[in-house]
Chains A and B, each alone.
Chain A
């Protein structure tokens, strides 16, 4: 889905199926997915995923500048959120990565280990 035009409530869109919904709702209030993407644009938010769920919100401003293998790795990263409902630090820990580093290391590892 296009994250830069989505007016869905961010907390509902991302964590509506998760026990973290109430806390995310209190934290982010009326913020939309679009608003989250724009806030996070300078920090490099390329995509966010419904965790758990089926939706992935894409920030074309970042994704269009990636190589195809980087795009595939990013999608794999977001699919892990979809499937497990886990946040970045948990995925990092499960993959044996630093849990304090930016989440870019998840995509980097998936690209290196899983993609040709």
Chain B
């Protein structure tokens, strides 16, 4: 009797393991570009098989690994569609809503800056902490850099050298914001130096 019970137990556990393989416990978190939570009126998660589910904000749903499209709609924002690769057993999909136009286009932001005096820095990466957008621009010989037509909001600015990240800082892009004067000594290097 005991061997049979052990066999059934092992079989049960094996089926559980196989069944859980490639599955994620997933949450969708919707915010604005400044990280403020936005309750969506409509939230759709569509897999590669075309099957759509409608999770609530931060509700845990179990899905298979793969590519997913998230469509979100909320008052005051344009309809937003993002694509994500789900490949973690516990994963959060961060959806950043873009403000929608009311009669005239929503203003965009530029970030113009200067990095000095570290000549190891060759490019600056602007990374949306509350979304999935990132973009790199080169640092000119004089240390200046410029981002154009960004969605206004919060950005993590990473100062990158040929061998990796040298320093980082947070920056809020606003339409009437001043030029960014970033000096390496003012940057928080801890975020980049960790683990190196």
Contact = CB atoms under 8 A, between A and B. Distances in A.
Q: B-side binding surface: helix, strand, loop or mixed?
A: loop
A87 B77 contact: yes
Interface in B50-89: 73-79
Interface residues of B, number: 28
Nearest to A104: B103
Interface string B109-152: 00000000000000000000000000000000000000000001
B160 to A, nearest CB: 27
B75 A27 contact: no
B107 A88 contact: no
B101 A87 contact: yes
Contact of B32 (A23, A48, A49, A86): A23
A69 to B, nearest CB: 19
* A interface bracket (residues with beta carbon within 8 Å of B): 20 to 34
B73 to A, nearest CB: 7
B40 to A, nearest CB: 9
Contacts of A1: none
B103 A48 contact: yes
B161 interface: no
